[in-house]
Structure 1
């Protein structure tokens, strides 16, 4: 295994700045002995620091070193404006996608004549007028149709209409939700479900669904209109919360005050009022409140250069998110695990290990883009309101279960797919190589195979192989550019700096 050649030099320079100078003047033999003992102790400490830094920096095989060296040269051409030379080297370094290994869902369609004979029979009966006395006769053919020919979109819309007619509105909603998860680009499905959400006053679900479609399909003629609908339905949801809160807010405040009287803790009032009052502040308000607390509790990395690096990546990507109602923040935690999490309202926390364990700036951008996608799609806020969080991150949250529920590490499979898709599109819209998230997933998969337990960020996400294939499919189908800026040299410089900061921090904690 080969370390980057600059590691030893940078470590040596770092150690020189830490080594005290010993003045060899005329001193007693006792003092000389004492100084020699101190020198030995200092050298032992230096060796420990060097070992710590070495442990934190990734080992690179000769093949990996050659690959990254090629990307560095390509980056130089790219930054110099010599895009053709850069692309040639990027292509030389990267393995071509094998399109034969890519699998996709069956393409959806609307044309009745594309249905096979049996499907046409189901559809003919399904289109007939509903008879209140013949429920089974109306529903049975449509059930067969959506089961056996799920790619025929009008069948799903008609089946939902039939369920509503026979007073099974909730079942219709559940069916459309499931279908939208498989076909998130079909406006007709969203158009069918929004009135049902409104009929049942499920304002928050309506907001999430409308915003999700708008973000996943920004070029659609209805995208802007759906963003407006999303904002309106969110306001309706909050208005209902305000009305519900008025009836019991005083009792909650009294309970909270009693908690403070007995425990001396201000956490009592927060836990008593719980998430209802917090949600009235909206995504941005909730995220801001708990981001402020986390920044006081977590061991944040305060180095200006490293923070500027991460913020520059984050701010570049937020240009393309479509959410101008958030004030985005990016923070780095002194932790060597490859991990990251997002709070509602665009507050992103990245572990320093994410810098150490990614191979390029584009890979790190892929991680950040994925977390941004979760916030932009309101995934965390949605799970908080549904109250079905699976995450257990209490080690980060010493101030109550509401905050714990806001830091979301476990999303549903559909949410992960959506975040992968939006994250990859963010990369493709920027100057980064569009396969940054794809390459990150490969890096994570390699680490998963090399270790008895997978990286933390990977362990909370489902089926890496499937997601790798999905991202590859997206890149191929949309002709995204993989042969752009990777940012390897700059990323390696940040890795060196982060490794030293973490090593010093870990040694200090051990003392």
Structure 2
């Protein structure tokens, strides 16, 4: 029985691995990132020294030599101090008065198509975000249909843009958190509150947001447990139905076993699956036990996890595998391939990969993925047509999860002091390898080109620092150390 239980856990782990790996495996001769030339290595190494010495403007000048502007990047003006009264804005009065007139007369088009350009042209005017968010909360379908590429499609996206522009504005942050809670995005609400307390720990409102973070994390856990208990009932009923229809008395067993394991919680479930994986890798001689390599990975991740908003017992495993890949298990158990270390060009790029994977754990993607797969799997047993639907649902969940992890990971990368484009640069290299294909409905991951595009837009829109620490020399030293024990691809 223990053998079957362990096999079941490994299969669940594979469900997570196949859906939450960073990218597909790359061929050995994949195109490296824009930072990979010998000349750039010397320039970036010098820039890193200046950065660590506190000479950040001098460092930025050198970083720019190897990091040109994004394609078609326009000069982005600095956002001035927030403005709360239209008389103090110095423009935009026509947009504002037209939007207010639309509100009084219930004219959706007049409201939306005046507030959107008002925000685009005068991003410092805070009341415009508040009005647009309230409108999109009330008229969600209209906003969804009317939004063009790059424009917010719903109230949460409006307030997401507002809080990225003014991260210390607690009125906007509360409004965003309230909206998330209303749509039962308890975990996202908790992380938003927690990140404020970490970045603005000296704010007089930090303790209030700390309490909100704890409150909504508890609500998320309760919500998950209620769903899992509901799944237990479904597993019994559907399993019994399938057993009768298919004359198989054991058919309902796996669903019940899965739910029982999930009810242990993220930490317990993730630790159990991680233990099985590490034992398997250890038995195959694939686990790296070099303390310097492990210390390096843990050190990079240690700069990221304080901003993730989840207090997990994070653990990191380095696996001898030449593919540029990594995967996250629930509860903060992260597996990183040696290929990820050897094929990235800097600490910042590897940190981008780690930030992405840690984000999956922080956002409970793996845990939710297994729960969703278990529920759909139960129905597939007795309704075969569900099989096609579940493939689409799983793909859409995975694409959404990948985008969420890209966004949170890049935000955390910027907060940590690394160059905010570490993940983006990695995706540029992967795009060269995979071509310019577009994302399809059944893809588990967004296409690399799409990811490059939305990461570039995010970095520009939110003024994230592309000229933070790269860490090329320390990264090269670990690569050289690894090459002494891991066969080159």
Q: TM range, normalised to the smaller chain? A: 0.5 to 0.7
Secondary structure of the 2:66 match is coil
- TM-score normalised to the size of structure 2? 0.62
Residue in 2 aligned with 1:225? 208
| Shift in CA distance, 227/410, structure 1 to aligned 2, threshold 3 Å | farther
1:189-223: CA deviation from partner (whole Å, max 9, x where unpaired): 4423544555x5x44x1331341354278434455
Contact 1:321 1:376 in 2 (8 A): no
Give 1:381 shift: 5.2
Residue in 2 aligned with 1:490? 477
Off by >6 Å, runs of 4+ in structure 1: 57-60, 75-79, 81-84, 87-90, 168-174, 254-259, 262-265, 382-389, 456-459
Contact 1:366 1:437 in 2 (8 A): yes
Residue in 2 aligned with 1:13? none
Contact 2:352 2:413 in 1 (8 A): yes
For 2:132 and 2:92, the matched residues in 1 are separated by 18
Contact 1:433 1:486 in 2 (8 A): no
| Shift in CA distance, 59/382, structure 1 to aligned 2, threshold 3 Å | closer
| Shift in CA distance, 241/366, structure 1 to aligned 2, threshold 3 Å | closer
Secondary structure of the 2:336 match is strand
1:301 maps to 2:290 = no
1:158 maps to 2:138 = no
Give 1:353 shift: 1.9
Secondary structure of the 2:317 match is strand
| Shift in CA distance, 65/177, structure 1 to aligned 2, threshold 3 Å | closer
Higher relative CO (Cα under 8 Å, sequence separation at least 6) belongs to 2
Matches within 5 A, 1:441-460: 441-448=427-434
1:95 maps to 2:76 = no
1:116 maps to 2:92 = yes
Residue in 2 aligned with 1:145? 114
Q: Which of 424, 427, 436 does residue 413 from structure 2 map onto?
A: 424
Contact 1:138 1:162 in 2 (8 A): no
Residue in 1 aligned with 2:23? none
- In structure 1, runs of 5+ residues without a counterpart are 1-54, 129-135, 390-400, 504-511
1:287 maps to 2:270 = yes
Give 1:347 shift: 1.9
Contact 1:288 1:347 in 2 (8 A): yes
Give 1:476 shift: 6.6
Secondary structure of the 1:330 match is strand
For 2:36 and 2:451, the matched residues in 1 are separated by 22
Matches within 5 A, 1:163-178: 175-178=154-157
Secondary structure of the 2:404 match is helix
RMSD, aligned α-carbons = 5.5
Give 1:351 shift: 2.5
- In structure 2, runs of 5+ residues without a counterpart are 1-26, 145-152, 376-389, 438-442
Contact 1:206 1:230 in 2 (8 A): no
| Shift in CA distance, 470/348, structure 1 to aligned 2, threshold 3 Å | farther
Give 1:328 shift: 0.9
Matched length: 412
| Shift in CA distance, 382/142, structure 1 to aligned 2, threshold 3 Å | farther
Residue in 2 aligned with 1:179? 158
For 2:228 and 2:41, the matched residues in 1 are separated by 60
For 1:282 and 1:426, the matched residues in 2 are separated by 29
Give 1:326 shift: 0.4
Residue in 2 aligned with 1:326? 312
Secondary structure of the 1:320 match is helix
Matches within 5 A, 1:431-510: 436-448=422-434, 461=448, 463-467=450-454, 469-470=456-457, 473=460, 478=465, 480-482=467-469, 486-497=473-484, 499-500=486-487
For 1:426 and 1:196, the matched residues in 2 are separated by 24
**Pair member with larger Rg:** 1
Give 1:143 shift: 3.3
